[in-house]
Chain A
Amino acid sequence: MSKQIIVPFGPQHPVLPEPLHLDLVLEDEKVVDVIPTIGYVHRGLEKLVEKREYTEYVFIAERICGICSHIHGQTYVQGIEQIMGLEIPERAQYLRTIWSEYSRMHSHLLWLGLFADSMGFESVFMNSWRLREHILDDLEATTGGRVIQGVCKVGGVRKDISPEKLDEMVKGLRGIEHELQDLTNVFLHDSSIQHRLKGVGVLNKEDAYYYGAVGPTGRGSGLAIDIRETGYAAYGKINFKPVVEHDGDCYARCAVRAKEMFTSIDIIEQCAKKIPDGPVDMKVTGAPDGEFFARAEQPRGEVIHYIKGNGKKNLLRHRVRTPTFTNIPPLVTLLKGCDLADVPVIVLSIDPCIGCAER
């Protein structure tokens, strides 16, 4: 047996946008064990429910993450609405769905860019982020915010989108579809990218399931788990199928994200056709008394907001289980046996968001 050495990876590393530390136990160039460490930027946002009224707290819930902020806010208010038995206007449900899919597209484009950058493809990185600007422009035009949208509130949404603007948004998305296809073709068909990703960081279906993999990390291993199928917001009225790949490697996780962008465009188009007229919010009185696990499908996977209230203005508990948090144990598994040189690509392939995980 070769002598084992430990190589520290992170918390500062060129491919890591946020601090994650891995102690990589190596035998020659092979990783034989991994010990992950987070906790460098734990913010304790959940504790603020004791200081902020439950209606104000949605702004904090949105700030858990700078990428999927809208879905965090949406999941939080869904939990509150469920406890309070609120049936919010249908138009608000559709608007939430549209903004959720925009969030998914901008997150996936951001990730595709970072992933390309980790492999040294600077031009693909820039093209991914150039296309992402189109998505961010639409988000800004309809919500007022590029990163933090601030449109969700308990009882509905704060802004409406006119039918003309919805038409324009769908046409815009169809207009960039061929560019998205060109970008996707590079990730899926370029021989050097395939060589870099295929067979690297393999997670089998059973390990993915029992180790807690969610989102594209799980779906890349053949797990057809997509919380949108539970029908929250307007997803119950939309036809779509989760994108599932079966090889479980970095290429499969990349393919899931690339293909999901087109599913998002279809969902947005269906929403634009089906969205009913009517109000976008309702009057809410009182405070939640009860508990609920609200779930949603973020770009990185299933997020859970546990909310417990006792009828007073401050909640007793708000606990968020983010997709990155539950994707850390599978990451440990899929790093074992890989080459040291593949570690950055494998780590990025789960799309880690430590800001979410540390909340």
Chain B
Amino acid sequence: MEPQAILPISVAEIVATAERAKKDGNRLVQIGCTKIDDNFEIIYVYDKDYKLSSYRITVKQADEIPSISGVYFGAFVYENEIHDLYGIHVTGINIDFKGTFYKTTIKHPFSVTIVKEDDPCQNK
């Protein structure tokens, strides 16, 4: 399988990175969020000719991040998802559901990490 590297970028570089990716002929593959301790890692993934280009930002829940839906129209589904599941505010989304994209009984359900057990694997 193809080698993969995820480049760290700052919040200020998100839109410029998206614009450059589009100019270079990449399509937007996905935007996904992962909670690591008190931080949230958001990875933007682009693809051209089956080669992935991935960029990671690390933010706190209170931080605001700019939308790239002005560059890639389809980004609104990922950005609304990140807002609804993690509570991270994304500014300037072209179709902003304002927290109603997912109808969850618990607000921002993925912003809480379930306490993990440190038992060894079954296949130790």
Contacts and interface: CB of A to CB of B under 8 A. Distances in A.
A287 B72 contact: no
Contacts of B95: 35
A262 interface: no
B102 A42 contact: yes
Contact of A316 (B22, B34, B101, B120): B34
Overall SS of chain A's interface: mixed
Overall SS of chain B's interface: loop
A39 B76 CA distance: 14
Interface string A270-297: 0000000000000011110001111000
A317 B34 contact: yes
A33 to B, nearest CB: 10
Given A47-B110, A47-B114, A50-B113, A319 B122 contact: no
Contacts of B101: 37-39
Contact of A325 (B6, B27, B72, B77): B77
Contacts of A127: none
A129 interface: no
B91 interface: no
Contact of A212 (B54, B74, B97, B116): B74
Nearest to A330: B74
Nearest to A79: B1
A90 interface: no
Interface in A317-359: 317, 319, 321, 325-326, 328-330, 333, 358
A292 B4 CA distance: 7
B122 A55 contact: yes
A53 B121 contact: yes
Interface in A31-54: 35, 37-40, 42, 44, 46-47, 50-51, 53-54
* Residue of B4, B27, B43 ringed by the most chain A CB atoms within 10 A: B27
**How many of chain A's residues touch chain B, expressed as a range?**
35 or more
A358 B101 CA distance: 11
B92 interface: no
Contacts of A35: 95
A227 interface: yes
B2 interface: yes
Contacts of B103: 39-40, 42
Interface stretch (A137-145, A178-186, A306-314): A306-314
Contacts of A54: 121
Contacts of B27: 209-210, 212
Given A40-B103, A42-B103, A308-B34, A326 B77 contact: yes
Given A51-B114, A227-B50, A329 B2 contact: no
10 contacts: A37-B97, A44-B110, A78-B1, A212-B27, A230-B50, A293-B4, A319-B32, A326-B29, A329-B74, A358-B102
Interface of A: 35, 37-40, 42, 44, 46-47, 50-51, 53-55, 78, 82, 209-212, 227, 229-230, 232, 284-287, 291-294, 302, 304, 306, 308, 312-314, 316-317, 319, 321, 325-326, 328-330, 333, 358
Given A286-B124, A292-B4, A304-B45, 16 more contacts: A39-B103, A44-B110, A47-B114, A50-B116, A78-B1, A210-B72, A232-B1, A284-B123, A285-B121, A306-B34, A308-B34, A312-B121, A313-B120, A321-B30, A329-B73, A333-B73
